[in-house]
């Protein structure tokens, strides 16, 4: 007999690293990523058009993490970057609350780092709310370091932002 969805998800969680795939966004992912965004007050309020246009932008990079053991595969989270020459900026990152703290965010950022380096990026910048401990923990553990504080950068609620920076290229390959 087939397991219930809850049992399927629990079993899949135990084999997360073996069954999670990070791949490029496709239009069919839109409902799933909008649904994840809706569950997360910390995530930017993007419209369908924002995702579609970033995915269509040659300098954009939109990746999704999916659980291959579900039928159809379930989208667990996504990450969005834009690269201009050798600098990239992280625009958006979100993991479904039901799948957080299971390595999905880390896997998305590690795959993004690999692809950005391959595309010629040397460093990545991002802004993050100073109260966002999970995101700060993740970014620090990936190797991002604090670069600056932007006072009152965010609205609703008003809050400062940390600017963080990650060097992608080896030290001897970081011209200007």
Residue of 21, 23, 24, 106 interacting with ligand COA (CB under 6 A): 106
Q: Give the residue from 26, 3, 23 showing the smallest Cα distance to 13.
A: 3
Residue of 20, 33, 80, 138 interacting with ligand COA (CB under 6 A): 138
Distance CA(146)–CA(152), nearest Å, equals 17
Cβ of residue 42: shortest distance to ligand COA, in angstroms? 4
Cβ of residue 85: shortest distance to ligand COA, in angstroms? 23
Paired tokens of 162: 């940390």
Residue of 3, 27, 42, 53 interacting with ligand COA (CB under 6 A): 42
Choice among 9, 89, 111, 127 that is catalytic? 127
Under rule CB under 6 A, residue 102 binds ligand COA: yes
Q: Give the residue from 122, 124, 120 showing the smallest Cα distance to 108.
A: 124
Radius of gyration of the chain (CA): 17
Lay out the site mask for ligand COA across 55-84 (x = CB under 6 A, - = otherwise). ------------------------------
Distance CA(99)–CA(78), nearest Å, equals 12
Q: Cβ distance 159 to 129 under 8 Å?
A: yes
Burial class (CB in 10 A: 0-12, 13-18, 19+), 97: exposed
Residue of 30, 40, 52, 117 interacting with ligand COA (CB under 6 A): 40
Name the residues annotated as catalytic.
Answer: 127, 139
Residues of the shown chain interacting with ligand COA in the complex, contacts defined by CB under 6 A: 40, 42-43, 93-95, 100-106, 128, 132-135, 137-138, 141
């Amino acid at each position: 007999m087939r397991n219930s969805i809850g049992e399927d998800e629990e079993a899949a969680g135990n084999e997360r690293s073996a069954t999670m795939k990070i791949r490029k966004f496709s239009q069919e992912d839109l409902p799933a990523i909008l649904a994840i965004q809706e569950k997360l007050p910390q995530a930017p309020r993007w419209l369908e058009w924002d995702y579609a246009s970033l995915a269509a932008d040659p300098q954009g990079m939109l990746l999704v993490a999916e659980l291959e053991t579900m039928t159809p595969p379930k989208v667990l989270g996504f990450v969005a970057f834009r690269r201009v020459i050798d600098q990239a900026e992280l625009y958006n990152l979100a993991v479904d609350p039901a799948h957080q703290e299971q390595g999905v965010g880390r896997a998305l950022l590690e795959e993004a780092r690999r692809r950005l380096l391959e595309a010629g990026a040397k460093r990545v910048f991002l802004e993050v709310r100073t109260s966002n401990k999970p995101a700060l923990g993740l970014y620090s553990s990936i190797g991002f370091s604090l670069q600056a504080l932007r006072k009152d950068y965010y609205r609703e609620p008003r809050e400062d932002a940390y600017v963080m920076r990650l060097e992608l290229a080896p030290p001897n390959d970081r011209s200007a």
